[in-house]
Amino acid sequence: MIKINDNFTKLQASYLFTEIAHRVAAYRESHPEVDIIRMGIGDVTRPVCDAALEAMRHAVDEQGDAATFHGYGPEQGYAFLRDAIALNDYNARDIDIHSDEIFISDGAKSDTGNIGDILSPDCKVAVTDPVYPVYVDTNVMSGRAGNLVDGAWTNLVYLPCTLQNGFVPTIPAEPIDVVYLCFPNNPTGTTLTREQLAVWVDYARKNNVLILFDSAYEAFVTEENVPRSIYEIDGAKEVAIEFRSYSKTAGFTGMRCGYTVVPKELKGIDRDGKEFSLHVLWNRRQCTKFNGASYIVQRGAAALYTPEGKAQVKETIEYYLRNARALRDGLERAGLIAVGGVNSPYIWIKTPDGMKSWQFFDLLLDKCHVVGTPGSGFGPSGEGYFRLTAFNTHEATLEAVERISRLNL
């Protein structure tokens, strides 16, 4: 018999969204007449903008003509997109990132999951808690997480982010090698200020810690003192890798495109203490395991940086942010404690009366026919919280608020 990677047997059998789907399906079967509003899974609803569609149509035509056909592209992505990113997302904001430090991906999930390939299996990893589950599960798969005991992995360091600490992770007391930071945060929708993020960069520099900074939601940042990129902080290029995604920014969830910045300053050591460039290692990894994102989709992504593309993306983001504001304000009026929604499409609710996350899920499903995500599914510190997203239509969002208000919580 084939010997499997035993780490996979440690993964929890029931994935959060499978359980949600299961409960919703069961409810629908017994209540076929009700109109369920889905505010759980973080998929978008607005279509891809015209600028990207037009660029992709053109690219499709190019693929049908031998003179303009594109076969395998560069594993790191096409220069037209890498240059546009360096210029618009970084240089225009006074951040010194070069296009050859940018690796185009098929989305941030792949790269946040795959980055562990270039790190030692012995690295001590810290995650904020609650957390985007991909960081945890991929470390389970690679054997860095240890064993699951009482809902927490024994080798991971958990950094609780709760109402008590204003959702700002505290520097851990024990030594770590790697920390995943995601701001604006999924699932809490909260952010760090530039000063708060600078504390982490400073700590990472002094303690040889690698920060894996997921800024998949940077496009939702509205406040001046909230950084969109970790490289806004001096010295971050020596300690941080940044992941970005076009999924939520431009409705690319079904098209698959994002990018990862691995600065050339970033160094690591092997077991003999010899220094290596993480940029070189990641390039080697990508050239071996990845054949580049689709040419057509990269053309679509590049069009997001044209004046029309920028305006259309802005319009979509504003639509979701309007939903987020309506949701948060409405929930607060209804007497709930809710955070997020200002620089993020996520609203994080403290469940009322000490209710467990799944109890609140059942209550909202049964009494309001609104589906959200139980906070406990994102980690131990998510218990007693609940996530709603702003990705539904404005009408459905207002209707959900109305129904929740009627609960008189």
Cα(first)–Cα(last) distance of the chain, in Å?
56
Decide: is 108 part of the binding site for ligand PLP (CB under 6 A): yes
Would you count residue 344 as binding ligand PLP (CB under 6 A)?
Answer: no
User: Which lies closer to ligand PLP via its Cβ, residue 237 or residue 244?
Assistant: 244
- DSSP 3-state percent helix, strand, coil across the chain (nearest 5): 45, 15, 40
Element (DSSP H or E) covering residue 269:
strand 267-269
Compute the least distance from the CB of residue 141 to ligand PLP, in Å: 17
Between 182 and 336, CB nearer to ligand PLP: 182
**Run of H or E including 403:** helix 394-405
Q: Does 119 bind ligand PLP (CB under 6 A)?
A: no
Instruction: For the chain, give the number of residues.
Output: 409
d(CA 353, CA 246): 38
Type of residue found at 87: L
Interacting residue with ligand PLP among 178, 204, 216, 240 (CB under 6 A): 216
CA–CA distance, 383 with 385 (Å, rounded to integer): 5
**Tokens describing residue 271:** 């077991």
Distance CA 89, CA 66 (A): 34
Stretch in the footprint of ligand PLP (CB under 6 A) among 29-37, 107-115, 311-319, 347-355? 107-115
x/- map, 56-75, ligand PLP, by CB under 6 A: --------------------
In angstroms, the CA 339 to CA 32 distance is 33
Contact 323, 398 (CB under 8 A): no
Give the number of other CB atoms < 10 A from CB of residue 309.
23
CA dihedral (306, 307, 309, 312) in degrees, to 10, reads 170
Closer of 121 and 254 to ligand PLP (Cβ)? 254
Number of Cβ within a 10 Å radius of residue 312: 22
- How many residues line the site for ligand PLP (CB under 6 A)? 14
Closest CB to ligand PLP among 227 and 258?
258
Beta bridge partners, 388, equal 347
Q: Does 247 bind ligand PLP (CB under 6 A)?
A: yes
Interhelix angle 295-303/50-63, nearest 10 degrees: 150
Q: What is the x/- site pattern for ligand PLP, positions 130-159, by CB under 6 A?
A: --x---------------------------
Q: Per CB under 6 A, does 253 bind ligand PLP?
A: yes
Among the residue ranges 245-253, 299-307, 319-327, 401-409, the one whose residues contact ligand PLP (CB under 6 A) = 245-253
Q: Tell me which stretch binds ligand PLP (CB under 6 A): 21-29, 104-112, 148-156, 360-368.
A: 104-112
Chosen residue from 20, 39, 40, 42 binding ligand PLP by CB under 6 A: 42
Answer for which of 99, 138, 186, 357 binds ligand PLP (CB under 6 A) is: 186
Beta-bridge mates of residue 347? 340, 388
We find the least distance from the C-beta atom of residue 184 to ligand PLP, in angstroms, to be 9
Asked if 184 interacts with ligand PLP (CB under 6 A), we say no
With CB atoms as reference, the residue minimizing the distance to ligand PLP is 107
* Minimum gap (Å) between residue 185 Cβ and ligand PLP: 8
Q: Is residue 228 close enough to count as binding ligand PLP by CB under 6 A?
A: no
**Amino acid found at 281:** L
The binding site for ligand PLP (CB under 6 A) comprises 42, 107-109, 112, 132, 182, 186, 214, 216, 245, 247, 253, 258
